[in-house]
Amino acid sequence: MSSKNKVALVLSYQYPGKYALTVLAGAVESDPVGRDVALRFPRDRDSLLAMVRECLDEGYQVVVAWSFYSASFPAAAEELAWLREQLAGREVLCIAGGVHATAETEQTLQAGFDLVAVGEGETILLDLLGRMMRGEDPRQTRGFSQLVDGRVVPRGRGEGVVLDHYPPFAARNMKFGAIEITRGCIYACRFCQTPFLNKARFRHRTVENIAHWTRVLREAGKRDVRFITPTSMSYGTQDESMNLEAVERMLAAVREAMGPEGRVFYGTFPSEVRPEHVTPEALALLKRYVDNDNLIIGGQSGSERILQETRRGHDVETVVRAASLAVEWGFVPNVDFILGLPGETPEDVQATLVLMRRLAHVGAKVHGHTFMPLPGTPYRDAPPGSVDDETRRELDRLASQGRLYGHWKQQVRLANGIASRRQPRR
């Protein structure tokens, strides 16, 4: 008989945290230690409670895990409080991770989570589960912070995960998702959490590894493959340049792995293309390999001053050129914009509206977002994004012409919520 303790990991498997939890479940199921951990994927709070109770009744030590963004933090905290109340003192270890928990560790711990995973989760979660199976104290695991006497006790952070060492999803548990091909970002856009969480350099999954997991997707009966990367055309590079040869080798391998019936989506949701990377050579390559008819291009602002302040690393004309070229090559460019960026003057807002109209004129669609002061970014303490009435009318007009889409109105509320919850820096 095994002398190991029985450990169950119950993942609060709800949108949007479930994407990160799928990656973590993949790490657990593929690891020699993690393989003995019972994994559960409840999709709502009632099944979360039922599965936790069932695991406890079966004699497991139970870890319940949440991953969330800043906007979904209140819902996760509320679910945690509800679960604890329902369990009426039965012992479970409640842990949280993700970009918000990493950036606002104290706030997350004060919400009642026992431990916060700081940084990248794969390695440190496996360490924690291994400790529990061996009967050791999980609270001593490196990479997890906790509150002791009301003060945060940090224990380092998880980082530097080599993507090839872990699967991109949890195939044994039939939980699939987009394949993360690059983690970290060398660009330093001031509104973005990616360089903060995953460091300012690119780590790429190898072509062979991507092809392997694509075959696994196909063998599971999936017809489509999608990818996660901070910037699609940066695959295979360590700097601002493109390595189209590397992108082509990867896409050719993926195409082959998917077979004639499969569909390959690249440069579109859930990843995007930087505007300066939209060149005739890059478009010709994409045209040869991908099935998407649209490209998502980061534009963000029509004001040169704001583009510089936010450190986007490109100018307005580059965005227009990218959209025009994409149209020429038969793609619908969907250009991302952020409304209400810090320090915007009425002239900057006007410049953004002018650019949106120019893009609409060349055949692009505009994807509107409202600026959120995200924890971990240089803009964490900036005012939440707002959209004045005149701009709102103009945006509604573009939307009615089918040229603008997005949740920018709902995001005004989310941005205010994030700002209202932030605590002073210590």
Contact predicate 190/309, CB 8 Å: yes
- Rounded to the nearest 10°, the torsion over CA 234, 176, 138, 199 is 10
At closest approach, how far in Å is the CB of 190 from ligand SF4? 9
| Listed residue (391, 313, 309) closest to 347, CA to CA | 391
At closest approach, how far in Å is the CB of 145 from ligand SF4? 25
Among residues 185, 244, 339, 415, the one that binds ligand SF4 under rule CB under 6 A = 185
Structure-block tokens of residue 2: 């095994």
| Listed residue (265, 318, 317) closest to 296, CA to CA | 265
Three-class SS state of 64: strand
Contact predicate 365/330, CB 8 Å: no
* Nearer to ligand SF4 (CB atom), residue 188 or residue 327: 188
Among residues 26, 34, 143, 195, the one that binds ligand SF4 under rule CB under 6 A = 195
* Nearer to ligand SF4 (CB atom), residue 105 or residue 194: 194
| Listed residue (280, 292, 298) closest to 251, CA to CA | 292
Rounded to the nearest angstrom, the gap between the alpha carbon of residue 8 and the centroid of all alpha carbons in its chain is 25
31 burial (CB, 10 Å; 0-12 / 13-18 / 19+) is buried
The string over 112-127, giving b where at least 16 C-beta atoms fall within 10 Å of a residue's C-beta and e elsewhere, is: ebbbbbbbbbbbbbbb
Q: Looking at 42-50, 180-188, 246-254, 358-366, which segment touches ligand SF4 (CB under 6 A)?
A: 180-188
Amino acid at the residue 297: I
By rule CB under 6 A, what count of residues binds ligand SF4?
Answer: 9
At closest approach, how far in Å is the CB of 323 from ligand SF4? 17
* Nearer to ligand SF4 (CB atom), residue 188 or residue 362: 188
Indicate whether 278 belongs to the interface with ligand SF4 (CB under 6 A): no
Among residues 145, 194, 214, 324, the one that binds ligand SF4 under rule CB under 6 A = 194
Q: Looking at 50-58, 156-164, 183-191, 337-345, which segment touches ligand SF4 (CB under 6 A)?
A: 183-191
Q: Looking at 138-146, 172-180, 191-199, 339-347, which segment touches ligand SF4 (CB under 6 A)?
A: 191-199
Among residues 49, 77, 132, 192, the one that binds ligand SF4 under rule CB under 6 A = 192
At closest approach, how far in Å is the CB of 168 from ligand SF4? 18
At closest approach, how far in Å is the CB of 193 from ligand SF4? 8
The string over 278-288, giving b where at least 16 C-beta atoms fall within 10 Å of a residue's C-beta and e elsewhere, is: beeebbebbee
* Nearer to ligand SF4 (CB atom), residue 166 or residue 187: 187
423 burial (CB, 10 Å; 0-12 / 13-18 / 19+) is exposed
Contact predicate 85/38, CB 8 Å: no
* Nearer to ligand SF4 (CB atom), residue 214 or residue 231: 231
Residues 70-129 that bind ligand SF4 (CB under 6 A): none
* Nearer to ligand SF4 (CB atom), residue 75 or residue 188: 188
| Listed residue (1, 33, 19) closest to 9, CA to CA | 33
* Nearer to ligand SF4 (CB atom), residue 187 or residue 331: 187
Indicate whether 189 belongs to the interface with ligand SF4 (CB under 6 A): yes
Indicate whether 67 belongs to the interface with ligand SF4 (CB under 6 A): no
In degrees, rounded to 5, the angle at the alpha carbon of residue 333 between the alpha carbons of residues 224 and 384 is: 100
Q: Can you tell me the distance from the alpha carbon of 326 to that of 322, in angstroms, rounded to the nearest whole number?
A: 6
At closest approach, how far in Å is the CB of 279 from ligand SF4? 17
Q: Can you tell me the distance from the alpha carbon of 71 to that of 370, in angstroms, rounded to the nearest whole number?
A: 13
Q: Can you tell me the distance from the alpha carbon of 355 to that of 320, in angstroms, rounded to the nearest whole number?
A: 8
* Nearer to ligand SF4 (CB atom), residue 192 or residue 254: 192
Q: How many CA atoms lie within 13 A of 204 on its CB side?
A: 17
Contact predicate 160/142, CB 8 Å: no
Among residues 60, 169, 187, 196, the one that binds ligand SF4 under rule CB under 6 A = 187
* Nearer to ligand SF4 (CB atom), residue 225 or residue 228: 228
* Nearer to ligand SF4 (CB atom), residue 274 or residue 403: 274
Rounded to the nearest angstrom, the gap between the alpha carbon of residue 224 and the centroid of all alpha carbons in its chain is 20
Contact predicate 206/193, CB 8 Å: no
Q: Looking at 112-120, 190-198, 215-223, 393-401, which segment touches ligand SF4 (CB under 6 A)?
A: 190-198
Give the contact letters, 206-235, x = binds to ligand SF4 (CB under 6 A), - = no: ------------------------xx----
At closest approach, how far in Å is the CB of 381 from ligand SF4? 19
- Using CB under 6 A as the criterion, which residues of the chain lie in contact with ligand SF4 when the complex forms? 185, 187-189, 192, 194-195, 230-231
